[in-house]
Amino acid sequence: MRGDPLEFITYISEHEEQFLRLLGQHLQVTLLSVAIGIAIALPLAVVVVRVDRLAKPMTTLANVGQTIPSLAILGLMLPILGIGFLPTLFALTIRAILPIFLNAYVGIRGVDRAVVDAARGMGTSNSQLLLLVELPLASPVIFAGIQTATVQNIGIATLAAYIGGGGLGDLILQGLAMLDTSVLLAGAVPVALLAMVTEIILGRLRRVVVPRGLQIDIK
Amino acid sequence: MIALEHLSKVFTSHGQTVAAVDDVNLEVGEGELHVLIGPSGSGKTTTMRMINRLETPTSGRITIDGRDVRTLDVVELRRSIGYVIQQGGLLPHFTVAENVAMVPRLLGWKRQQRRERAHELLALVGLPPERFADRYPRQLSGGQQQRVGVARALAADPPIVLMDEPFGAVDPITRKQLQRELRRIQGEVKKTIVFVTHDIAEAFLLGDRIVLMSEGRVVQNGPPADLLRRPAAPYVTAFIGEDRGLRALAYTSLSEVAMAVPNAVPVTGAILPGTLSLVEAGRELVAVGPANGDGFWVGDEVGNPSGYVTYRQFATEIAERLAAEGVVGESAEAVMADAVPR
């Protein structure tokens, strides 16, 4: 390895077009996987909360699922989905579902029973109970799950490079192969920054999503 | 009118069946407040929750104005019945006004109409709407939350209100205040109320009738005075407690013992309201201090003197009531010493 550690900035500016394309791929696959993850995990959690006997098997499955390495999911899907964008999206979606599902399940289950009882006693239908009471009250926990999934997937998306899925992982792999620190860092540093910035943006967004009455600092 | 007929509820847990409610029969007349009272596990809450179908009876039936609740749409049934629970059960993400207007919202009222109704009810329960409407439940004290809970139950003007230990989680002073206010509100709105509590004083203060339950069964069902004067079982006496003689005093009002206005006595000194109980009157006399003359005046609803009670007669009334309840010795003397200024 050679050179000044800050040389990666020069590398990025010299390869701006390539860098932006990889960054775009990275963001695209991450956000898409989280969106699909929400679309699958949230309804699933709602159903599992309602159907008691699904709770144990589903949460166990989700917990076990968390322990499977991402790279293993990519490898396992190789014969079925081949290489490129699709298997990457698939693996990241699986990764996103798990924390979103667990948080949503725990969040909805954790809503104060007295509040649910009062709401039912006032005559909320099942869907009103869900939309007016359970989801808003569980929203801080649900949102935390989405936040975790997003930040985590920004990191995992670098693995896409191994199966031709693109993204900033390409630069990392290239850098390793060429023993060129500036190339490696041109991939790694933006990924780390991206994860941090996303965390901050989602933290802000959380204040918009979570109902005012639930926020800690209301006066 | 709410009628419970041969109502039973059996729970099964760990292979054992427990009759939480066992052949309960009850009629709650229009505009009456019935208190279900008993120790934990006596089935009072379960009985109440079967009325708005939060629990399903194992056998028997409940009718409201002759219609079996099982034949009614469960969501509509619940919207037509006010429901108050301990600590209010307020929705923490809704403002106070939004909480109060919850059932109107479910019923599809317009926003403006809901807002007006919420303000009206907040005023009724003693929370000035301009100060409280836009706060969140977390910003209220326990007592204030309970008031919101009561306002919410009344929002859609339901004929029936169910109250499950509504004042159970507040301090004794606030509780007393809330009880008095509920009495005032009930005087205004005249709802048919089923009220669950384990606080005997609360039951006596609020109930038109008291239904004492034990192990899923009704032990006695009658006006408060009946439970004192004619306890149906030793259990009733035991539950009410040894101070039932004092309770009897608490349920005799001054106007019941005052004599017609004697013309000879000039109207001087404080005039005590005729609605005061003998116990309250005694306290009042002690507070006011010795007055001139041999007695005091009792006022009617608007405060005009309508009767007179001599100190001697007052003491006799108290002593007789205590004697009738079999309360002897120290406590009787204590009450008399308290009641009569020296």
**Distance separating alpha carbons of residues A66 and A62, to the nearest angstrom:** 6
Residue B73, phi then psi, degrees to nearest 5? -65, 125
| CATH number of the domain within which A54 lies | 1.10.3720.10
Q: Residue A218: which pLDDT band, with cuts at 50, 70 and 90? A: low
Residue A35 inside a domain? The answer is yes
**Distance separating alpha carbons of residues B179 and B184, to the nearest angstrom:** 9
Number of C-beta neighbours around residue B42 at 10 A = 24
Residue A218 inside a domain? The answer is no
Residue A144 inside a domain? The answer is yes
Q: Burial, B258: exposed, middle or buried (Cβ in 10 Å; 0-12, 13-18, 19+)?
A: buried
**Distance separating alpha carbons of residues B94 and B80, to the nearest angstrom:** 21
Ranges under pLDDT 70 in chain B: 241-248, 261-267, 289-292, 322-342
Residue type present at position B318: I
Interface probe, candidates B76, B91, B94, B140, chain A, greatest A C-beta count within 10 A: B91
A58 to each of A33, A47, A146, A200, B175, how far by Cα in Å? 20, 11, 18, 31, 45
Higher pLDDT, A134 or B40: A134
Q: Three-state SS across chain B?
A: CEEEEEEEEEEEECCEEEEEEEEEEEEECCCCEEEEECCCCCCHHHHHHHHCCCCCCCEEEEEECCEEHHHCCHHHHHHCEEEEECCCCCCCCCCHHHHHCHHHHHCCCCHHHHHHHHHHHHHHCCCCHHHHCCCCHHHCCHHHHHHHHHHHHHCCCCCEEEEECCCCCCCHHHHHHHHHHHHHHHHHHCCEEEEEECCHHHHHHHCCEEEEEECCEEEEEECHHHHHHCCCCHHHHHHHCCCHHHHHHHCCEHHHHCEECCCCCCCCCCEEECCCEHHHHHHHHHHHCCCCCCEEEEECCCCCEEEEEEHHHHHHHHHHHHHHCCCCCHHHHHHHHHHCCC
pLDDT at B333: 47
Q: What is the DSSP letter of A122?
A: T
Residue pointed to by tokens 């900035």: A9
Residue A70 inside a domain? The answer is yes
pLDDT at B177: 84
CB burial readout A183-207, b (16+ within 10 A) else e:
bbbbbbbbbeebbeebeeebeeebe
Asked if the C-beta of B158 comes within 8 angstroms of chain A's C-beta atoms, the answer is: no
A-chain residue closest to B76, CA distance = A123
Q: Which residues of A touch B (CB under 8 A)?
A: 112, 114-115, 117-125, 128, 132-133, 136-137, 211-214, 218-219
**Distance separating alpha carbons of residues B3 and B25, to the nearest angstrom:** 8
CB–CB of B139 and A122 under 8 A?
no
Residue type present at position A71: L
Count of all residues that appear for chain B in the document: 342
Tens-place pLDDT, residues A79-123:
888 888 888 999 999 999 999 999 999 999 999 989 999 999 999
Residues 6+ apart with CB under 8 A from B172: none
Interface probe, candidates A116, A122, A141, chain B, greatest B C-beta count within 10 A: A122
Tens-place pLDDT, residues A198-211:
999 999 998 888 88
**Distance separating alpha carbons of residues A51 and A39, to the nearest angstrom:** 19
Show the CA angle centred on residue B324, arms to residues B320 and B326, nearest 5°.
Answer: 115
CB–CB of A121 and B76 under 8 A?
no
Interface ipTM: 0.80
pLDDT at A2: 54
Asked if the C-beta of B304 comes within 8 angstroms of chain A's C-beta atoms, the answer is: no
Residues 6+ apart with CB under 8 A from A197: none
pTM (2 decimals)?
0.76
pLDDT at B265: 64
| Long-range pairs of B281-287 with CB within 8 A, sequence gap ≥ 24 | B281/B254, B281/B314, B281/B339, B282/B314, B282/B318, B282/B335, B282/B338, B282/B339, B282/B340, B283/B338, B285/B314, B285/B339, B285/B340, B285/B341, B286/B338, B286/B339, B286/B341
Q: Which residues in chain B have Cβ-Cβ distances shorter than 8 Å to A121?
A: 52, 54, 78, 81, 83, 85, 89, 162
Q: Which residues in chain A have Cβ-Cβ distances shorter than 8 Å to B106?
A: 122-124, 128
**Distance separating alpha carbons of residues A172 and A186, to the nearest angstrom:** 7
Task: Please say whether the beta carbons of B7 and B60 come within 8 A.
Answer: yes
Residue pointed to by tokens 């003007």: B157
Tens-place pLDDT, residues A4-43:
767 888 888 888 899 999 999 999 999 999 999 999 999 9
Task: Please say whether the beta carbons of A153 and A91 come within 8 A.
Answer: no
Name the residue facing A213 among B54, B88, B95 (closest C-beta). Answer: B95
CB–CB of B94 and A213 under 8 A?
yes
Residue A178 inside a domain? The answer is yes
CB–CB of B136 and A212 under 8 A?
yes
CB–CB of B92 and A133 under 8 A?
no
Tens-place pLDDT, residues A34-74:
999 999 999 999 999 988 888 889 888 888 888 888 888 88
Residue A90 inside a domain? The answer is yes
Task: Please say whether the beta carbons of B254 and B273 come within 8 A.
Answer: yes
A106 to each of A16, A80, A134, A135, B24, how far by Cα in Å? 44, 33, 11, 12, 39
Residue A64 inside a domain? The answer is yes
CB–CB of B89 and A117 under 8 A?
yes
**Distance separating alpha carbons of residues A121 and B275, to the nearest angstrom:** 36
Name which of B295, B301, B302, B262 is nearest B281 in CA terms.
B295
Residue A196 inside a domain? The answer is yes
Q: Residue A156 sits in which domain range? A: 7-211
First to last CA, chain B: 51
Domain count, chain A: 1
